[in-house]
Amino acid sequence: MAAPDKTPARISGMFDSIAPRYDLLNRVLSAGLDQKWRRRAVRELQLGRAPQVLDLCTGTADLALAATEQHADASVIGVDFSGAMLRLALGKVREAKLDSRIRLVRGDATRIPVADASCDAATIGFGIRNVAEPTRALDELARVLRPGARLAILEFGQPRIPGIRTLYAWYFRYLLPAVGKMVSRHQSAYSYLPASVGTFPPPAEFARTIESHGFVSVRAVPLTFGIVYLYVATRLS
């Protein structure tokens, strides 16, 4: 399978276009499971008191909101390069009256606009697959996390149980792109989704990549039959 074009201008333009329908499609296409996956990712961070969390590729801020909802004293900085996604995120943050605790910043995952060792934890929800140079983003995460801090990355995978794998492959390759195209009115964003998942490294390989970029105790945890993987790692001390 040919790797899809991930130039930053293309990816940010794509998310700018689908932003108004992004949350709706997430809920519908995951049958509401997406928020459960995000809450699980936050739990894996094992946050201490008044933590500073980085949510990279924050999009419409669902993971940032989950972190502040689960931890009343957490502060989050959400970074994304799509202006339209960030505008929607800001609306949600203001509506939840969380603007004093969630700060949204426009920036690239390969040049995170945050000081060295300033974060107690970091998350990326369904974002790393879109980054053209994911190892540069991992190097940046290692730079901004303090030693011992936890990283939780959610990314799509492929179910391992044969029957479910076949059924899901049909859903993911045919039904999801059709519904996504109809609702988002974007020609290719929801075909890009299975194409980008298909060329993403298998869980064991991506876990090794995380390990070789400044992290230890790396785990790849399958969620919902492996439709999604949660990668949990600790910044090297």
| Cβ proximity to ligand SAM, 62 vs 120, nearer residue | 62
DSSP alpha helices (H): ranges in 52-95? 62-70, 83-95
Determine the interface stretch with ligand SAM among 67-75, 120-128, 174-182, 202-210 (rule: CB under 6 A): 120-128
| Cβ proximity to ligand SAM, 116 vs 133, nearer residue | 133
Instruction: Provide the edge-to-edge strand list for the sheet that holds 228-235.
Output: 102-106, 75-80, 52-56, 119-125, 145-156, 228-235, 215-223
Q: Left, alpha or beta for 43 (phi > 0: left; psi -120 to 50: alpha)? A: alpha
Determine the interface stretch with ligand SAM among 74-82, 168-176, 217-225, 226-234 (rule: CB under 6 A): 74-82
Rounded least distance, CB 148 to ligand SAM, Å: 24
Query: For residues 81-100, which are near ligand SAM according to CB under 6 A?
Result: 81-82, 85
Q: Does 52 bind ligand SAM (CB under 6 A)?
A: no
Please give the structure tokens belonging to residue 38.
């995000």
| Cβ proximity to ligand SAM, 91 vs 237, nearer residue | 91
Among 42, 63, 141, 144, binds ligand SAM (CB under 6 A): 63
Q: Which residues contact 124 (CB under 8 A, 6 or more apart)?
A: 55, 56, 57, 109, 137, 152, 153, 154
| Cβ proximity to ligand SAM, 221 vs 236, nearer residue | 221
Among 80, 120, 140, 155, binds ligand SAM (CB under 6 A): 80
* Nearest one of 176, 23, 195, 3 to 92, comparing CA atoms: 23
Question: Degrees (nearest 5) of the Cα angle 105, 108, 113?
Answer: 55
Q: Does 57 bind ligand SAM (CB under 6 A)?
A: yes
* Beta partners for residue 103, in sequence order: 77
| Cβ proximity to ligand SAM, 47 vs 86, nearer residue | 86
Helix axes 33-43, 8-29, angle to 10 degrees: 110
Radius of gyration of the chain (CA): 17
Q: Does 108 bind ligand SAM (CB under 6 A)?
A: yes
DSSP reduced 3-state for 122: strand
Q: Does 62 bind ligand SAM (CB under 6 A)?
A: yes
| Cβ proximity to ligand SAM, 8 vs 214, nearer residue | 8
Query: For residues 128-187, which are near ligand SAM according to CB under 6 A?
Result: 130-131
Q: Give contact residues for ligand SAM (rule: CB under 6 A).
A: 8, 11-12, 15, 57-59, 62-63, 80-82, 85, 108-110, 125-127, 130-131
